[in-house]
Amino acid sequence: MKTEPPTTNGVDQGSFINERNLQWQERFEDELIMHLERDQFVAETSRPVPRATLGPRATAGLWALRVFVVLVSLMVIYTFIDQLH
């Protein structure tokens, strides 16, 4: 007998993260970290995190944000220098 996952208003509840499970997992990880010695804690927190794999839209959005920040920075620098005179 096959059972369907519960749905609410046609939305599959299996696609959402269960908040209680997430909170329990965070508490469990915090509890584990709490019992580490200082050198173990430093070694665990200084481990590098692998680079995230992003889609082409996210990559393009981040590049657009970088260009925007550079342009606004140049405008601020120009305005600051212009106001010195």
For residues 36 and 39, give the distance between their C-alpha atoms in angstroms, rounded to a whole number: 8
**DSSP class of residue 8?**
E
Confidence of residue 45 (pLDDT cuts 50, 70, 90): confident
41 and 9 part of one domain: yes
61 and 82 part of one domain: yes
43 and 3 part of one domain: yes
Give the per-residue pLDDT at 1. Answer: 46
Domains in the chain: how many in total? 2
Give the per-residue pLDDT at 10. Answer: 55
6 and 38 part of one domain: yes
pTM for the structure as a whole: 0.46
- Helix extents (H) in 9-55: 19-34, 38-45
1 and 24 part of one domain: yes
Domain that holds residue 83: 55-85
35 and 6 part of one domain: yes
> What integer is the mean pLDDT of 26-45?
70
Render pLDDT for 58-67 as a digit per residue (tens, 0 to 9): 999 999 999 9
